[in-house]
Amino acid sequence: MGSEQPALSMHFEASVVARVPRAKAYAAYTDFGAMPKWSREKGEVRVSRGEENKVYLERTSGGRPAIREMKLFPPERVESEGETRFTRTKSVVRFDEVPDGTRVTASLEVQIKGHWSWIMKTRGKAEAESSAMEELSSFARYVEALP
């Protein structure tokens, strides 16, 4: 009899200031087809519109498709949910006006399933937070370089 590893849940936030107006930051973030230009997750992104404020993103990672449901609340925030074989993720990305531009803050709830939970326990929350910070910093550089 095999024993299933319990899921590991993590919550963390990362924040960066992009030196652009909030509307520009929000527009660049929700240009999902351009995501591979700044996101660590490379590859093609397929976008399909849902009802009202919903968008569905499909990416293929390691040969497996991953679909995220994105709820858009312009220009304040984007909420998303997605699941892969190993993770279930909920996130909220907020866009707040600050004197130097726009503070972009990502709040993430990540549930890691199965044996991956043990691996993440050993690497810890700090590595996940660092990865999220790198992603936001890459986005800030991207949006600041747009005309």
pLDDT (tens digit per residue) in 65-103: 778 899 999 999 999 998 877 778 899 999 999 999 999
Residue 133 lies in a domain: yes
**Pick from 43, 46, 89, 82: nearest CA to 63:** 43
pLDDT of residue 2: 45
Residue 28 lies in a domain: yes
pLDDT of residue 101: 98
Residue 2 lies in a domain: no
Residue 54 lies in a domain: yes
pLDDT of residue 70: 94
- CA quadruple 73, 32, 105, 66: dihedral sign: positive
> Containing domain of residue 124, as a range?
8-145
- CA quadruple 49, 94, 110, 63: dihedral sign: positive
The side-by-side arrangement of strands in the sheet containing 54-61 is 8-18, 101-112, 87-98, 77-83, 64-73, 54-61, 45-49
The two tokens of residue 43 are: 């590859």
**How many other C-beta atoms are found inside a 10 Å radius of the C-beta of residue 93?**
22
Looking at per-residue pLDDT, the higher value among 67 and 4 belongs to 67
DSSP helix/strand/coil, 44: coil
Tracing tokens 């963390």 back to the chain, one arrives at 12
Residue 14 lies in a domain: yes
> What contacts 52, CB < 8 A, 6 or more positions away?
none
Q: State residue 30 phi and psi, 5-degree precision.
A: -90, 10
pLDDT of residue 5: 55
CATH number at 35 reads 3.30.530.20
pLDDT, tens digit, 9 for 90 and up, residues 14-48: 999 999 999 999 999 999 889 889 987 766 778 88
Residue 89 lies in a domain: yes
Residue 86 lies in a domain: yes
Residue 1 lies in a domain: no
Q: 3 pLDDT exceeds 60?
A: no
Strands (E), 5-145: 8-18, 45-49, 54-61, 64-73, 77-83, 87-98, 101-112
Domain count, the chain: 1
